[in-house]
Amino acid sequence: MNKYSKTLAIGEHMCYTCGEHQFRYGRKKVQSVKIQQEMTLMEKLSILTDAAKYDVACTSSGTDRRGNKKDMGNCLAAGLCHTFAADGRCVSLLKILFTNECIFNCAYCQNNCNSDVPRASFTPEEVCTLTMEFYRRNYIEGLFLSSGILISPGYTMELIYQTICRLRNVYHFNGYIHVKAIPGADPALIQKTGFLADRMSINLELPTADGLKKLAPCKSRNTILRPMRQIQNSIAENKNELVVYRKAPQFVPAGQSTQMIIGATPESDFQIMSVAEALYHNFDLKRVFYSAFINVHPDADLPVLPGGPPLLREHRLYQADWLLRYYHFTVDELLSEDRPDFNIYLDPKCDWALRHLDFFPVEINRASRRTLLRVPGIGYKSAERIVKARRTCCLDFSDLKKIGVVLKRALYFITCSGKMMYNTKIDEDYICSCLMADRTQIPREIREGGYRQISLFDSATPGESAVTQEELIRSEAVAGA
Amino acid sequence: MWTFGGQGETGRMCALRGGVFMYIFICEDSLEGIFTGVYDACASRLGHRNIHLASGEPENYELFSEYIRVTPSAEKTQKVVSTLISRFGRQFYESICQAAMSGERRSRKKMDKADAIYETILLALACGDGQKVLLSLGEPCVYRVFELCRATNREACQHLQFLRFSELENGVLFATIHPKDHILPLLAEHFSDRLPAENFMIYDAPHRLAAVHKASGGYALADAGELDHDKIKRYSGDELEYRKLWLAFFDHIAIDSRRNPALQMQMIPKRYWADTPELSRF
């Protein structure tokens, strides 16, 4: 146990800025408890949900665990999303912070010790009841527990461990649990927590060490990567153990993930994707999440984003991320030093295909699965179906449509029994303008002019500007490709 | 092309599709009904090419077709089920069941559900490998089964996500759903595994069916025609409080600067809203 835990019972703290955090060491403890007691569960939940909402990793996938016939809960490998919030993001887990009190001063975070937000802490008991009651009503798929740094990383990790331990062993919860490992916490604690959680994550926060130093001076690359390596090694060890002893306890069965903030620092997409690729290769991560930066409080170091968070960029990064994980692409193929950012008009796969027309057309009835995966409009599932279906018969374009291939995108790149669908040219400009002619291919942000700065002295009428906008898109897309 | 045979049955076998002369087996729109139809059609020895199956009464009767009504029989169903499982494996059987459970409205443009299942089973019998048959999507009947199966699966999966239980006065968890397909067994299976120690009941309102699960026991499907609608509105003391907490959580988890109602609607279509407290605010 931590040396502070004797003077303070778990969760009995309340302070408004961490500048005053000495008083939590005992002197004004009574006062802080009083503030805590006035707060209802509803208020706490509101505050701590608000505090957790910028974390993106809300997935419940990766573990397949049947129920054990007596305890509540099971897990599905594909994961389930229980509802979708007003921003269209899925709500799969009860995503909360244990406490939003924090001694760190990360500039991008609304819970940093200098910001003026209401602070609250749950007790382990409250987190457990909320999880159990929400879970049995089928509101959630499990718990996502993160926390601000209360007193010290070790102390916070201990609190998280206590909560999870209670949930698993006292409440016998058998559903999905995702916890954050706190950078700088005792490795033994992280190890213990790993045996109770399904997924663990440590946020990389910013893609480069420089960015981290600037915006999160309390964190360092080293303290983040060390526990990541530890979890990776433990998972590998545990897998070997499970081969020998089938019933051995599982360590982080759904793997670990991380997240990066996009747009707070001037890194290029190429840098970000290279970091992601390195994480997948060297740390065996299951997922890397990208979170469009949202400026929650004014800070001189942070960019002002008049057009809102860079959602389209985030979307392109996710698309590329899937290409890395499921489509056997490498970052070097998609981007380079000379072209460091993704084409905002075309998705990364189309973009790649247009720059590698020598690779096409691909013969559907003969091409390997890997080759099929490179064709725009053919996804992971359709490639699988094509490979299986062509064993029995020769596939035609109508069969491809049934299989689920998006022909309006794929038709420029494929042949069936040596024939193309229509008489099309294999020419970059031609294909690009054809793809652009389909308005649904253009991202909504651009279609609706989200990228256009509205000026007070703008004289063009709306009708005119729509036309020029469209022409602009087309010409820029061709130039970009 | 008309072929006149000798006498009796064969004389009427004018094996032309397109409704010239056919034996049409009308089965009940249920798993048992369709499987009995399949059994009867095979046992009738009228020639597979002359047989169609219909799930439910046809809108229009054809002049030269003979209509045969099928009475569902548990024994015949059992025979078909055991043949399917033993010869083609569990996965094939499950795909067929999921297709049969689909509640898609019959339309003249698309192949009838029972007919698609019948022909797929015939193909599998001829080929001997069920999995292989299910992959040959070039066949219209197989494609139809695939389509139905995919729709049912999607519907079931959506309901696993969007179904909401409320705790009643007597501690029973109760949920109402409005599915298009007969997905209740799939849901009951999932929730029995997930909540083994709870008494719960899922009420399928359009089909007037209920799945009832008893703590540490199995589940049963029951006719819910006489459900007590007052009793299911009497919630336990905690219920409203947890519902409020859930609503608060739901409201606070959204990021204002990313607001996107269109995306939300795309991910959770409006027809699910009525049964979820956070979107209907009941």
Residues 35-54 of B with CB under 8 A from A: none
- Cis preceding linkage at A361, omega within 30: yes
CA A198 – CA A250 distance, rounded (Å):
9
A48 close to A101: Cβ distance less than 8 angstroms: no
Q: What is the pLDDT of residue B151?
A: 93
Whether residues B254 and A95 touch (CB distance < 8 A) is answered with no
pLDDT band with cut points at 50, 70 and 90 for residue B7 = very low
pLDDT band with cut points at 50, 70 and 90 for residue A68 = confident
pLDDT band with cut points at 50, 70 and 90 for residue B20 = low
Q: Mean pLDDT, to the nearest integer, of A333-360?
A: 90
A126: which chain B residues are within 8 Å (Cβ-Cβ)?
Answer: none
B126 CB within 8 Å of a chain A CB: no
B193: which chain A residues are within 8 Å (Cβ-Cβ)?
Answer: 66-67, 74
B262: which chain A residues are within 8 Å (Cβ-Cβ)?
Answer: 88
**End-to-end C-alpha distance for chain A, whole angstroms:** 58
pLDDT band with cut points at 50, 70 and 90 for residue A283 = very high
Name the residue with tokens 């995702």: A178
Distances (CA, A) of A382 to A319, A370, A390, B142: 17, 12, 12, 16
A68: which chain B residues are within 8 Å (Cβ-Cβ)?
Answer: 196
Q: Residue A137's closest chain B neighbor by CA?
A: B165
In the three-class reduction of DSSP (H, G, I as helix; E, B as strand; rest coil), residue A217 is classed as coil
- Pick from B132, B166, B258: which is nearest to A309 by CB? B258
Residues 6+ apart with CB under 8 A from A291: A54, A55, A56, A259, A260, A261, A262, A314
Q: Are strands A176-180 and A142-146 parallel, antiparallel or unpaired?
A: parallel
CA A342 – CA A340 distance, rounded (Å):
7
The tokens for A463 are: 């009708």
pLDDT digits (tens, 9 = 90+) for A241-275: 888 888 888 999 999 999 999 988 888 999 999 99
B173 close to B164: Cβ distance less than 8 angstroms: no
Cβ atoms within 10 Å of B130's Cβ, excluding its own = 24
B246: which chain A residues are within 8 Å (Cβ-Cβ)?
Answer: 134, 137, 139
Distances (CA, A) of A114 to A19, A203, A264, B118: 8, 21, 19, 70
- Pick from B165, B195, B261: which is nearest to A86 by CB? B261
B264 CB within 8 Å of a chain A CB: yes
Residues 139-158 of B with CB under 8 A from A: 143, 157
Whether residues A87 and B260 touch (CB distance < 8 A) is answered with yes
DSSP-assigned letter for residue A22: G
What distance in Å separates residue B59's CA from the closest CA in chain A? 28
Q: What is the pLDDT of residue A39?
A: 86
B127 CB within 8 Å of a chain A CB: no
- Pick from B137, B138, B246: which is nearest to A139 by CB? B246
Name the residue with tokens 């992971």: A380
Say what the alpha-carbon torsion angle B173, B176, B179, B183 is, to the nearest 10 degrees.
30
Q: In what order do the strands lie in the sheet with B200-204?
A: B166-167, B173-177, B200-204, B209-213, B219-223
Whether residues A74 and B161 touch (CB distance < 8 A) is answered with no
A41 close to A19: Cβ distance less than 8 angstroms: no
Apex CA B271: angle with CA B251 and CA A84, to 5°? 30
Name the residue with tokens 């590698």: A356
The tokens for A149 are: 């740094």
- Pick from B132, B191, B254: which is nearest to A87 by CB? B254
B8 CB within 8 Å of a chain A CB: no
Q: Residue B138's closest chain A neighbor by CA?
A: A399
Question: What are the residues facing A143 on neighbouring strands?
Answer: A94, A177
A94 close to A58: Cβ distance less than 8 angstroms: no
Question: What are the residues facing B166 on neighbouring strands?
Answer: B174
pLDDT band with cut points at 50, 70 and 90 for residue A324 = very high
Q: What is the pLDDT of residue B81?
A: 95
Mean predicted lDDT score pLDDT of chain A: 83
pLDDT band with cut points at 50, 70 and 90 for residue B135 = confident
Q: What is the pLDDT of residue B247?
A: 94
Query: Count of H helices and E strands in chain B?
Result: 11, 8
Q: Quote the longest CA-to-CA distance of chain B.
A: 79
Choose from B161, B191, B200, B266 for mutation: most chain A CBs within 10 A. B161
Count of A–B CB contacts within 8 Å?
Answer: 152
The tokens for A152 are: 């010290």
Helical (H) or strand (E) element with A145: strand A142-146
Choose from A139, A293, A315 for mutation: most chain B CBs within 10 A. A139
In the three-class reduction of DSSP (H, G, I as helix; E, B as strand; rest coil), residue B108 is classed as coil
CA B241 – CA B247 distance, rounded (Å):
10
Question: What are the residues facing A95 on neighbouring strands?
Answer: A144
Lowest mean pLDDT among A118-127, A215-224, B149-158: A215-224
CA A332 – CA B1 distance, rounded (Å):
63
Q: What is the pLDDT of residue B4?
A: 38
A467 pLDDT higher than 90: no
pLDDT digits (tens, 9 = 90+) for A209-229: 888 888 888 888 888 999 999
B182 close to B221: Cβ distance less than 8 angstroms: no
The tokens for B46 are: 């009228």
Residues 217-256 of B with CB under 8 A from A: 238, 242, 244-246, 248-256
Distances (CA, A) of A215 to A17, A103, A110, A402, B35: 19, 15, 13, 50, 66
What distance in Å separates residue B158's CA from the closest CA in chain A? 9
Give the residue among A371, A416, A412 at the shortest CA–CA distance from A398.
A416
Dihedrals phi, psi of B121, to nearest 5 degrees: -65, -40
Whether residues A91 and B267 touch (CB distance < 8 A) is answered with no
A477 pLDDT higher than 60: no
Q: Mean pLDDT, to the nearest integer, of B160-164?
A: 94
Whether residues A85 and B249 touch (CB distance < 8 A) is answered with no
B82 pLDDT higher than 50: yes
Whether residues A308 and B257 touch (CB distance < 8 A) is answered with yes
Whether residues B161 and A311 touch (CB distance < 8 A) is answered with no
Q: Mean pLDDT, to the nearest integer, of A446-465?
A: 51
Give the residue among A217, A292, A296 at the shortest CA–CA distance from A50.
A296
pLDDT digits (tens, 9 = 90+) for A353-399: 999 999 989 999 999 999 999 999 999 999 999 998 888 888 999 88
Q: Which amino acid is at B9?
A: E
A411 pLDDT higher than 50: yes
